[in-house]
Amino acid sequence: MNAAIIYYSATGSVHALARAAADGAAAAGAEVRLRKVRELATQEMIDSRPAWAEHVANTSDVAEAELDDLAWADVVLFGTPTRFGNPTSQLRAFIETTGPLWQQGTLAGKVYSAFTASNTAHGGQESTLLTLANTFYHWGGIIVPPGYTDPIQARAGNPYGASHVAGDGPPGEVALEAARYQARRAVETASVLKAGRVAQQSEALASPR
C-alpha cells in the first residue's frame, strides 16, 4: 500500500498531526510519503510571526507535494489549518492543480481522509473537513473518516477527522494518537479494497467465456 500524507502547516500543529498520521500509516504496513504543499505567503508575512518563520525553517527538509504523489498513492490524507471554516489557500492551490489527474480518472477509487487544527475549540474544524470532502466527492474518492470506531475517538471527540485546538498549545498524545489511528484505519480500508479488486480481476480472468 502507498500512503501520501499531504499537508499545510504555518506554525507546526498540523505538521505534528501529519507526522503522527505518517507513523500510523507506516504501522499499518504502508509505504509513506510525507509532503507539504508550497507556501504562498510572502517572506515579509512569514517573518512578521516568529513562530511561523521558525516552523518554515525547521521543515525545510520536507519535500513539497507533487501530482505524482497523488497518482502514486492508494490512500491520501490531507491536513490543513482552518481558515474561516475552510482549508487554507495553500492547500487549495495544490488541489486546484489536480485537474489533469481528475480528467484521466487517476484520482477515482482511492481512499481519502483529512485532519485539521484551529486556534479555538469552535474555530471551524468540522466545516473545514466537510469542505475537503466535497473535493473527494468530485474525484470519485472513497471517504474514510475515523468515526467513533476506536476508544481514542471517545477522547478525541471528532468523528470527521483528527483535530487539535492550537490555542491550547502543541498537539498532545490524544490528538496525535487520533491522527495515527485515522491513518491506520484509512490504510487498512484501502488494503481491503485493493485485495478485493485483485480478487475480482483474478476471478474474471479465470471465468470461462
- Are 39 and 90 in contact by the 8 Å Cβ rule? The answer is yes
- Are 115 and 79 in contact by the 8 Å Cβ rule? The answer is yes
Map grid coordinates 495544490 to a residue: 94
Q: Please report, to the nearest 10 degrees, the dihedral formed by the alpha carbons of residues 164, 20, 152, 170 taken in order.
A: -30
The Cα–Cα gap between 117 and 101 comes to 28
pLDDT tens, residue order, the chain (209 aa): 999 999 999 999 999 999 999 999 999 999 999 999 999 999 999 999 999 999 999 999 999 999 999 999 999 999 999 999 999 999 999 999 999 999 999 999 999 999 999 999 999 999 999 999 999 999 999 999 999 999 999 999 999 999 999 999 999 999 999 999 999 999 999 999 999 988 887 777 777 66
146, with CB counted inside 10 A (0-12, 13-18, 19+), is buried
Q: Which residues of 10-27 are buried (b: 16+ CB within 10 A; e: fewer)?
A: bbbbbbbbbbbbbbbbbe
Q: What is the pLDDT of residue 201?
A: 79
The Cα–Cα gap between 156 and 42 comes to 34
Q: What is the pLDDT of residue 49?
A: 94
Domains and CATH numbers, the chain: 2-206 (3.40.50.360)
